[in-house]
């Protein structure tokens, strides 16, 4: 069973990832035809990010993010994010279990690592998920 501290960290990580993926996306796909491939990332934050403990995976795409448990695939958190500058993202994360919303700020310290801090001062890191991983 996951303790409250680990759960918060997982939820915050998921939020951070989700926020990162949304930046730079200017609109929805064209309604004129089928989409042949996923859109290319439009932000440094787009994509999938894993919690350092491997418990959760967060997806950032077009201003929306979600966090999923890696063992069950259950959605743990979701929210929106805003890219503050090329290396910083601000995320509003809603825990689906606790029904609470938390603000998280993340800094991209390398192309593969985000260091994040919640409004409550909790710190955690996310690692970019390698392409082609399932």
Pick the CATH number of 4-24+41-128 from 3.40.50, 2.30.130, 2.40.128, 3.30.470: 2.40.128
Q: What does the alpha-carbon distance between residue 114 and residue 44 come to, in Å, rounded to a whole number? A: 11
Q: What is the DSSP string of 37-81?
A: SPPPP-STT-EEEEETTSSEEEEEETTEEEEEETTT--EEEEEEE
pLDDT, one tens digit for every residue, the chain (134 residues): 445 444 444 444 444 333 333 333 333 333 444 444 444 445 788 999 999 999 999 999 999 999 999 999 999 999 999 999 999 999 999 999 999 999 999 999 999 999 999 999 999 999 998 765 54
């Amino acid at each position: 069973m996951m303790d409250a501290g680990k759960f918060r960290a997982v939820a915050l990580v998921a939020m951070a990832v989700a926020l990162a993926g949304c930046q730079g996306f200017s609109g929805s796909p064209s309604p004129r035809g089928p989409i042949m491939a996923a859109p290319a990332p439009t932000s440094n934050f787009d994509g999938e990010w894993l919690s350092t403990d491997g418990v959760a995976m967060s997806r950032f795409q077009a201003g929306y993010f979600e966090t999923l448990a890696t063992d069950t695939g259950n959605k743990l958190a979701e929210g929106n994010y805003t890219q503050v500058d090329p290396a910083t993202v601000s995320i509003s994360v809603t825990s689906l279990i606790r029904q609470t919303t938390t603000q998280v700020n993340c800094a991209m310290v390398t192309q593969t690592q985000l260091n994040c801090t919640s409004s409550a001062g909790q710190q955690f890191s996310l690692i970019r998920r390698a392409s082609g991983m399932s």
